Amino acid sequence: MAFKAKGPRARTRHKLQKKVRGMPKPNSMLKTFEVGDKVVIKIEPSIHSAMPFPRFHGNIGSIKGKRGTAYLVELTDGGKTKTLISHPVHLKRVM
């Protein structure tokens, strides 16, 4: 009997796939954002710390605050406002 996977990366075979293997550049880990900045959530699969839930991959939110080295990102999902904790390597500024 096969059991359904229920881990944090379940059902993400294609979403969390990298074309070129390797670690991201150090500058991407040291990015800084200001409160109110608009960001898009682009999950970097090789960095597991403060990885947002894969459901939010590609969504746009705004920076609400900072918690340690991670940022609080506020976005709407299904008409509700949600707050995610995400490392800066998983965030990209929207122009």
- Tens digits of residue pLDDT in 8-21: 888 888 988 988 88
pLDDT score of 33: 97
Termini Cα distance of the chain? 49
Q: For domain 26-93, is the CATH number 2.30.30.70?
A: yes
pLDDT at 8: 84
pLDDT at 77 over 90: yes
Q: Where are the domains of the chain?
A: 26-93
Residue 27 has what pLDDT? 92
Count of CB atoms within 10 A of residue 43's CB? 22
- pTM of the complete model beyond 0.85: yes
Is 92's pLDDT higher than 80? yes
Query: Looking at this protein, which amino acid is placed at residue 55?
Result: R
